């Protein structure tokens, strides 16, 4: 996730202070990896330094100062550029699971166990994600579907690799 651009996108709807941004980030995008308040404040500081946000007010409400930030025209440009740029596609990405399987084969360890354990972990996450979709709004369901489809692709790879493991072990031994 790109925290700076997400914060810019959230600020596009109007000025907010860091606590509000942190809460909205977590509610909309942080289901697996919530953002820490310190990260939000550090990111806002960098965005301000770069001219993408500006401070519109500072209030003290029974505790620390609450600084309210607003998007600048440069911030809108930054956000639009990010939104318009496709994400990098990495067709030869080597996953950690692939590396573990190859190292297991090279060392004579049980690669089937690694693949089986990974399959079980993926299925557990799929059950959890599916349960979270129940009763959720459409945007949340679409976000969970994205995760589920990736997990399904991973499962296909795990099954495909398991079926070819003996041949792969022979090639790895050369």
Residues 71 and 19 reside in one and the same domain: yes
The model's pTM: 0.67
Give residue-wise pLDDT tens across range 13-71.
Answer: 899 999 999 998 888 888 767 889 899 999 999 999 999 999 999 998 777 888 999 99
Do the domain assignments include residue 91? no
- Its domain, for residue 17, covers 3-84
Do the domain assignments include residue 151? yes
Q: What is the pLDDT of residue 68?
A: 95
Q: What is the pLDDT of residue 70?
A: 97
Distances (CA, A) of 1 to 29, 35, 56, 98: 9, 10, 26, 23
Among 37, 53, 84, the domain boundary falls at 84
Q: CB–CB of 11/71 below 8 Å?
A: yes
Across the chain, mean pLDDT equals 88
Check which CATH number belongs to the domain holding 43 and give it.
1.10.10.10
Do the domain assignments include residue 90? no
How many domains are there within the chain?
2
Give residue-wise pLDDT tens across range 67-125.
Answer: 999 999 999 999 998 988 877 655 555 577 887 888 888 778 888 999 999 999 999 99
Question: For every residue of the chain, which 3-state class applies, written as one string?
Answer: CCHHHHHHHHHCCCCEEHHHHHHHHHHHHCCCCCCCHHHHHHHHHHHHHCCCEEEEEEEECCCCEEEEEEECHHHHHHHHHHHHCCCCCCCCCCCHHHHHHHHHHHHCCCHHHHHHHHHHHHHHHHHHHHHHHCCCCHHHHHHHHHHHHHHHHHHHHHHHHHHCHHHHHHHHHC
Residues 62 and 112 reside in one and the same domain: no
């Amino acid at each position: 996730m790109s925290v700076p651009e997400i914060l810019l996108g959230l600020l596009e709807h109007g000025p907010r202070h860091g606590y509000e941004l942190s809460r909205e980030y977590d509610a909309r995008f942080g289901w697996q990896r919530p953002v820490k308040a310190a990260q939000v404040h550090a990111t806002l500081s960098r965005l301000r330094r770069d001219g993408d946000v500006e401070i519109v007010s500072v209030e003290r409400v029974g505790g620390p100062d609450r600084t309210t930030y607003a998007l600048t025209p440069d911030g809108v440009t930054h956000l639009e550029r990010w939104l318009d740029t496709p994400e990098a596609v990495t067709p030869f990405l080597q996953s950690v699971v692939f590396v573990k399987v190859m190292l297991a084969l090279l060392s004579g360890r049980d690669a089937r166990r690694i693949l089986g354990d990974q399959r079980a972990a993926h299925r557990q996450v799929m059950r959890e994600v599916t349960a979270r979709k129940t009763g959720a709004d459409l945007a949340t369901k679409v976000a969970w579907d994205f995760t589920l489809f990736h997990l399904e692709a991973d499962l296909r790879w795990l099954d495909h690799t398991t079926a070819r493991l003996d041949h792969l072990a022979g090639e790895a031994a050369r």
